[in-house]
Amino acid sequence: FVTRRQSIRLRRSNIGSSSMTVVGGESSDDTDEAGGSSCAAAALLQIRGGGTISNDSGGSIRRLAKRYGVDLPTNELDELPSKFASAVLTSSTTSLAEAMQRSNADARFLVVYISRQGSSKANGVAIPNLMSREMIKLANRRPLGKKQNSDTSSYYIWIVDDDGDYDSALKRLKIKPPAKRKSKSSSSKSVTPPILAIVYPSTSVSSSGKLTVTPSVLSQHHCQPPPGSPDVLTSWINATRKRHLRDFAKLQHDRREAVLHRERTEGYRASVEEDAVREAQERAEAERRRQAEEEEERRREELEARREVLRESLPEEPEPGAAGASTIALRFADGTRDQRRFPSDAPIDSIFDWIDVEHEIERERLELGTMNGSRTFVHGAGEASTIEGAGLGRMTALRVGIVEGSSEDAGEDDETEGDESEEYSD
């Protein structure tokens, strides 16, 4: 973002380097589009609330008022009313290009007063009238009256208070400098009459297809002399308003279209962003599922390979009634039953290996418990323990439970003192 002073310099450089002006609605093609059109497009999108471009002209307004004896309507805090401060613009703080953009964005006509500071007599009449309460009231009235359904006002007032802006303003508006006239006070001194004009800030499309705000002079006062009172000035301006009600209506229509365009643009941009976020989330979710499937497939293959190894490592099943054999009977939670004989000196973990191989339940998730629930066993909790050493008799029934997590989560060595496994008969 640029500061206000930088913005003013940029606008002035755009005016100085551009000959794009309009009289009667016709625009020239030698426009400095890098400045004017981009600023105009930005102004078209900054619509709501009126006064979208900040106004820092309070100091210059006070200086003008002090120079020409204008009684400003300040409040108890010595502040200018918002309607006054927003309606009056000065060239030292708001360039003509900015004033045109603001007028276009807020659907107002622009009252332009261009004068050199040496024209003290004409300025002493015109400027107090332009800053009068009657003129400010007219500037803030609704131009279409009861037929108007928006809150837009009628005019902005732009006053040249710096001689350096005189020539650039004439060039921008394509107004020929008025002929100098001799001052009555001195036959040798000539004075350039001021220019008072009402400008329509139309929107046009340049040769490159960009939107630009181009000025069209609707009415110009000869200012020889300027309007002598606020009533004369407002009557002249009001007569112009009545002749150009259609232009006011078009400005307001264009303003509404600009608002709709902005809302559509913002809605489209938000939709595109939402689509991009959703697509990114979908891609991330698809990638997550793919990785999870690959991980599950890899894990399944590892389990199958491990079960083949476990199957080979299971101890040979003793013959029925063989000495030193223990029969282990299982009861699963779903009612399934199974049994197998093991050598009594086989590691107790071989029971878990058998369940893993035959029933495809990972041994790390198993918890075996006696039928009366007095003892439980988990894989790896008693590595050196044998079936006989764990206190399991020749015939032992165990409940099979499944716990979440690994064996490190599921178990530690259980106390085995004083409890016998429940035995059963074939």
- Model pLDDT for residues 51-98, shown as the tens digit of each residue: 333 344 568 888 888 888 888 888 777 788 888 888 999 998 899 999
Q: What is the pLDDT of residue 413?
A: 40
Higher pLDDT, 209 or 177: 177
pTM of the model: 0.51
Q: What is the pLDDT of residue 58?
A: 66
Query: Mapping DSSP to helix (H, G, I), strand (E, B) and coil, where does residue 391 land?
Result: coil
What confidence tier does 184 reach under pLDDT thresholds 50, 70, 90? low
Higher pLDDT, 40 or 219: 219
Question: Could you tell me the two tokens for 182?
Answer: 């001799």
Question: Could you tell me the two tokens for 92?
Answer: 């030292």
Q: What is the pLDDT of residue 147?
A: 67
Q: What is the pLDDT of residue 163?
A: 84
What confidence tier does 4 reach under pLDDT thresholds 50, 70, 90? very low
Higher pLDDT, 388 or 406: 388
- pLDDT tens digits, residue range 39-62? 333 434 343 333 333 344 568 888
- pLDDT tens digits, residue range 290-316? 999 999 999 999 999 999 999 999 999
What confidence tier does 245 reach under pLDDT thresholds 50, 70, 90? confident
pLDDT cut 70: percent of the chain above it: 75
Q: Is 115 in contact with 122 (CB distance < 8 Å)?
A: yes
Q: How many residues does the chain have?
A: 426
Q: What is the pLDDT of residue 75?
A: 77
In this structure, which amino acid lies at residue 185? S
Task: List alpha helices for 94-215, DSSP H.
Answer: 96-105, 120-130, 133-139, 166-173
- Measured CA to CA in angstroms, residue 294 lies from 281, 284, 299, 301, 306 at distances of 20, 15, 8, 11, 18
Question: Could you tell me the two tokens for 72?
Answer: 């400003």
Residue 23 has pLDDT above 60, yes or no: no
Q: What is the pLDDT of residue 26?
A: 35
Q: What is the pLDDT of residue 128?
A: 92
The burial of 94, by beta-carbon neighbours within 10 Å (0-12 exposed, 13-18 middle, 19 or more buried), is given as: buried
pLDDT cut 90: percent of the chain above it: 35
Q: What is the pLDDT of residue 17?
A: 36
Name the residue with tokens 């050598």.
343
What confidence tier does 181 reach under pLDDT thresholds 50, 70, 90? low
Q: How many CA atoms lie less than 13 Å away from 4 in the CB half-sphere? A: 8
What confidence tier does 158 reach under pLDDT thresholds 50, 70, 90? very high
Closest CA to 223 of 268, 283, 160: 160
Q: By mean pLDDT, which of 130-144, 242-256, 403-417 is the weakest?
A: 403-417
Name the residue with tokens 């989560």.
409
d(CA 108, CA 217): 13
Phi, psi for residue 239 in degrees, rounded to 5: -65, -40
